Amino acid sequence: MARNSKLRNPHTRTLIARDQVKSPITEQYRTIRTNMQFSAIDEDLRSVLVTSTGPSEGKSLTTANLAIVFAQQGKKVLLIDADLRKPTVHYTFRLNNTFGLSNYLVGDYELEKTVQKTNVDNLDIMTCGPIPPNPSELLGSKSMKKLLENSQEIYDIVIFDTPPVLAVTDSQILSNLVDGVLLVVRSKQTEKEAAKRAKDLLEKADANILGAVLNDRDVKEGGYYYYYGK
């Protein structure tokens, strides 16, 4: 899909696509966005799931910045934190997390009551909400399918941030509900066998894998960053 360089520390939660629109790294996010759209050229890409093989591979930071560049394209975007175990989206965007996805899935709130505005035009967010005791069951529920249907009536694209594939089954449960899946791997950290196993698990779940992002790879030529596609 694309190489994504210089994303050193996911805990800094730098929204470079928002704060440095002309950055070479932001341009790489736009390249990933374009490649994703080409991967689904025969149909509209209305829902995307982003996951990784394991923790600390830059998945959530990649998801947040991708949501921003889709919004900058003029699309109405909903970013959903579907990591009901270790959510981070509310930290990234500095939002309230007292209510969110988990509340919707158990029927406490309607969609409009669980969505929050951001300081990025066209981008709304549904945070995780209170961490439930049964994440997998909630994500596989009829309420989850209803959420996707209802949100697509309002938004051009819905993007899910989900847990790592090899850690829990949550991503696999959601993967066949969305139009495409993006797998994030980290240079010099993700083992090839782990990435292959994650891919195999997603394919067994009938996921449409759009491609992979190689994160934290410092690639330079002549003093400039460059990238190339899948």
> Which of 80, 62, 174 is closest to 127 using CA atoms?
80
> Does some domain include residue 142?
yes
Higher pLDDT pick, 192 / 226: 192
Q: What is the CATH number of the domain that holds 19?
A: 3.40.50.300
> Does some domain include residue 80?
yes
Residue 137: pLDDT over 80: yes
CB atoms near residue 226 (< 10 Å): 12
Question: Into how many domains does the chain fold?
Answer: 1
> Does some domain include residue 206?
yes
Residue 212: pLDDT over 80: yes
Residue 224: pLDDT over 50: no
> Does some domain include residue 63?
yes
Could you give the dihedral angle defined by the CA atoms of residues 85, 106, 175 and 184, in that order, rounded to the nearest 10 degrees? -30
- Mean pLDDT, residues 118-142: 96
- Mean pLDDT, residues 158-182: 94
Res 1: pLDDT: 54
Res 219: pLDDT: 59
Res 41: pLDDT: 67
Tokens of 223: 């003093």
> Does some domain include residue 213?
yes
Res 10: pLDDT: 40
> Does some domain include residue 43?
yes
35-44: pLDDT as tens digits:
988 887 677 8
Strand 180-186 to strand 116-117: parallel, antiparallel, or no bridges (unpaired)?
unpaired
Across the chain, mean pLDDT equals: 87
45-88: pLDDT as tens digits:
999 999 999 888 889 999 999 999 999 999 999 999 999 999 99
Give the residue numbers spanning the domain of 218: 2-225
The CA-atom distances, in angstroms, between 88 and each of 10, 41, 209 are: 10, 31, 24
> Does some domain include residue 230?
no
Q: What is the pTM of this model?
A: 0.87
Q: In what order do the strands lie in the sheet with 116-117?
A: 2-4, 209-215, 180-186, 47-52, 157-161, 77-81, 123-126, 116-117
20-34: pLDDT as tens digits:
999 999 999 999 999
**pLDDT confidence bin for 189, thresholds 50/70/90:** confident
Residue 162: pLDDT over 90: yes
First and final C-alpha spacing in the chain: 4
